[in-house]
Chain A
Amino acid sequence: MERGVRDLNILEKFALEFTHIVEHYSRYIIVSGFVAIVHGRSRATEDIDLILERVPKEKFAQLHAHLEKGGFECIQGENPAMLYDDYLAQNTAIRYIKRGTPLPDMEVKLAKDRLDELQLQERTKLPMTNLPFWFSSIETNIAFKEEYLKSPKDLEDARHLRVVYGGKLDKEKIDRWKMLIKKFRS
């Protein structure tokens, strides 16, 4: 059973509102730190990372308008054509906050390569969290944190996820993802 809204923390409520709007326009995945936090990792964060399918400009403009109507604002600007051309199309993320509330923010980017497309194809819900979001798989998150991101915070996130999932992890999948990361992101 999914958690009631009263049981959610600020980050989860923010993600819930945001993804309710996003899913009208595009497939998405939430990746990285938020994935560890919703599995109990006790650390601070300012943002949630979200990858969208590579939607065309017109569709992004519709999504942006819906987000604005829903009380969100993009901190890089209001003009959807500018946001698309100057940021998203250049593979740079944009950030949305609730109007007037600096934190948290949703860092949004478009799928930029085969790895992002694969993550979207393999997207999954994570029953252990009781949350309705689409995530990249636990194995993928661990692989990115250990092979690509590698900061102490990321390595601790990966370690936390390895303990929480224990014997349920597909270790071959983690290794396959690490090889893909070396191939596409090195």
Chain B
Amino acid sequence: MDNERLQQIDRWAAYCKAEPEKAKKAVNALVDAQIDIANRFYERLRKTPEGRKAYQKLLKLRMERSGKGQ
């Protein structure tokens, strides 16, 4: 990790500690937007036969990642 990135991580974490409610609102907006955008994309993707195939491949990729964590 480069130094600037580390400093940004530290700055944001310190903000979370000092202003937990404000930080929480910002994170909620990010999390909700990310998931909403992805789900809307998948909905459009599944409207065509090729898209449904691509969607199945994406699901398979997700399954292959299973169990590689903690």
Contacts and interface: CB of A to CB of B under 8 A. Distances in A.
Interface of A: 7-11, 31-32, 37, 39-42, 44-47, 49, 75-76, 87, 91-95, 101-105, 107, 109, 128, 136, 141, 144-145, 148-149, 152, 155-156, 159-164, 166
Contact of A9 (B20, B31, B69): B31
Given A75-B62, A105-B62, A163-B13, A93 B67 contact: yes
Contact of B28 (A9, A149, A166): A9
B16 interface: yes
A147 to B, nearest CB: 11
Contact of A159 (B13, B20, B59): B13
B62 A42 contact: no
Nearest to A119: B70
Interface bin, chain B = 20 to 34
A7 B69 CA distance: 28
Given A105-B62, A163-B13, A164-B16, A10 B35 contact: yes
A40 B24 contact: yes
Given A95-B62, A102-B38, 10 more contacts: A7-B24, A40-B24, A40-B27, A42-B12, A109-B66, A148-B70, A149-B70, A159-B10, A162-B13, A163-B9
A133 to B, nearest CB: 15
Rank and list the top 5 A-B pairs by shortest CB-CB distance, nearest first.
A40-B16, A163-B13, A93-B66, A9-B28, A93-B67
17 contacts: A9-B31, A10-B35, A11-B35, A40-B13, A40-B27, A44-B31, A46-B38, A87-B66, A103-B38, A107-B66, A144-B70, A148-B70, A149-B69, A159-B6, A159-B10, A160-B13, A163-B9
Interface of B: 1, 5-6, 9-10, 12-17, 20, 23-24, 26-28, 30-32, 34-36, 38-39, 42, 55, 59, 62-63, 66-67, 69-70
A155 B63 contact: no
B42 to A, nearest CB: 5
A128 B55 CA distance: 38
